[in-house]
Structures are given as structure tokens and as C-alpha cells.
Amino acid sequence: MLLYQAICDEENLTCRGCDGGSECTSRLCNSGICGDTRDIVYVDKATGADGVNCGTVADPCASIGSGIEKVEGTRE
């Protein structure tokens, strides 16, 4: 699921879709729409740790193998 997360400029009174992952809580921007963190399995070799609860943005898995084990339903 993708979520529309408007990026607004209060000075110019304009809003737009995301322009890059750094503007999204999920770190994923697809065609101006932020990805939903509930649909993404996060893997980060440098800071992650494989375990039962890994795969969130706050607690990424360390290996692709552990990340793949977490994929179910709509999670990509």
C-alpha cells in the first residue's frame, strides 16, 4: 500500500508529493507517493540484527535471508 504524504511549503502555500525517500517516514518514495512502513521489510547489513522481530525501519534485519523470511501478504 502506498500512502500520499504531502510535502507542504507554508511560505508559498503549496503542497506536492514526495521527491525522494528522505521525505518519507518509510524511506520509500514511488512516483510522489510514500510507501507504507507496514508493507516493507527493512534490511541493513551495517546496523541491522537478524532476529524474530527484525524487519522494521527501527529494527532492520542484517541479512537478506532474514528479510525474505519476513515477507508475507503485502510486504515487499
Q: Name the pLDDT band for 44 (thresholds 50, 70, 90).
A: very high
Q: What is the mean pLDDT of residues 8-20?
A: 87
Higher pLDDT, 1 or 13: 13
**How far apart are alpha carbons 17 and 2 in whole angstroms?**
12
Higher pLDDT, 53 or 74: 53
**How far apart are alpha carbons 30 and 25 in whole angstroms?**
13
Q: For 21-33, what is each residue's pLDDT tens digit?
A: 898 888 889 888 8
pTM (predicted TM-score): 0.69
What's the pLDDT score for residue 59? 95
